[in-house]
Amino acid sequence: MPLQLRSLASEFGAEIDVDLTSSAARGSSVELTQALHRHRLLIFPGQHLNHADLLAAAALFGTVDTDVDRTYAVPGFPGITTISNIVEDGAHVGIYDGDDEEEWHADGSFKPNLPRATLLYSVITPGTGGQTRFADATRAYAELPAELQELIKGLRAVHSIRHLGDLQNQASGGQSSTAAGSLAAMPDVEHPLVRTHPVTAARSLLLGSMVISGIVGMDAEASARLVAELLEHTTSPPYLHTHHWRQGDLVIWDNQATLHTASPCDSSRHHRLLYRAAIR
């Protein structure tokens, strides 16, 4: 049977009712991947996944990326990373999902090759806060004024995990998981501001509110001003979808066509635990 998709009210993304451990899902890998490219964001509610199930669900969309932060990797399950605001024995159990607004970003933009897609699976869901917001960087680019599209054509930005870690430390009083993780020494990389999707050929904006240290050939002030202008446009209401997590939700997004950020969550009152996998 064909997949039953419900488009989201934001006109960006879709929800699918299918058990990702079922034979129906395993036989729909091509259709699921096509749906991801078409909608850029897919939500699968009501899942019951162990770590092996999560890796199998990720494999429906391609090859699981095992080049992850070893500090927060799940032992025995290559490619799964813990995301959480929980502290045990004085240490964060996962990549710290802080009490403040997270930066807008695409996962792994500090690497030479971005993951194609990212999956998040929710195990402990906060009663208040902790939503994930997604921005449709593809439609946002398409609706830029023509003169701004021309201005940014060919420009390249420097993505720096060290820059990201420094800014996170400043914002969180030294609690940056990025700065403390095993990938913190990666060298800076350059990416075009406007990426062409390797499958759909659609163009989208690759931005970051903290990871970009500058634009090649521009001074710091002009770089910051241009990135801020593009981010303001891309993260404005017409291009946003906010996901309110429920226990058992699995969300996957096209990491080469979107941006995302986590909303604040009071870790003293509300715990949050998710597991992440990515597709390369």
Which H or E run includes 189? Answer: strand 189-192
Tens digit of pLDDT for each residue in 183-197? 677 899 999 999 999
pLDDT at 60: 98
pLDDT at 266: 80
Give the pLDDT of the chain (280 residues) as one tens digit per residue. 678 899 998 789 999 999 999 999 999 999 999 999 999 999 999 999 999 999 999 999 999 999 998 999 999 999 999 999 888 888 888 887 556 667 899 999 999 999 999 999 999 998 888 899 999 999 999 999 999 999 999 999 999 998 887 887 776 555 555 655 666 778 999 999 999 999 999 999 999 989 999 999 999 999 999 999 999 999 999 999 999 999 999 999 999 999 999 988 887 788 999 999 999 9
Rg of the chain on CA atoms, in Å: 18
Coil, strand or helix at 115: coil
pLDDT at 167: 81
pLDDT at 164: 83
**Partners of 121 in beta bridges:** 250, 275
Coil, strand or helix at 50: coil
CATH code, domain with 173: 3.60.130.10
pLDDT at 104: 95
**Partners of 15 in beta bridges:** 6, 43
86, 122, 265 from 244: Cα distances, Å: 19, 11, 12
pLDDT at 102: 75
pLDDT at 138: 98
* DSSP per position, 135-177: EEHHHHHHTS-HHHHHHHTT-EEEE-HHHHHHHHHHHHTS--H
pLDDT at 97: 58
Residue located via tokens 């700065």: 179
Identify whether the C-beta of residue 122 lies closer than 8 Å to the C-beta of residue 246.
yes
87, 93, 135, 176 from 268: Cα distances, Å: 10, 15, 28, 18
Whole domain around residue 249: which residue ranges? 5-279
Tally of domains within the chain? 1
Phi, psi of 78, deg, nearest 5: -55, 125
* DSSP per position, 241-279: EEE---TT-EEEEETTTEEEEEPP--TTT---EEEEEEE
Pairing status of strand 87-88 against strand 91-92: antiparallel
pLDDT at 74: 97
pLDDT at 268: 77
CA distance 127 to 260: 21
pLDDT at 175: 59
Tokens of 3: 């997949």
Q: What angle do CA 207, 212, 218 make, to 5 degrees?
A: 100
pLDDT at 101: 63
Residue 53's closest CA among 11, 21, 75, 24? 21
Burial class (CB in 10 A: 0-12, 13-18, 19+), 22: exposed
Identify whether the C-beta of residue 77 lies closer than 8 Å to the C-beta of residue 64.
no
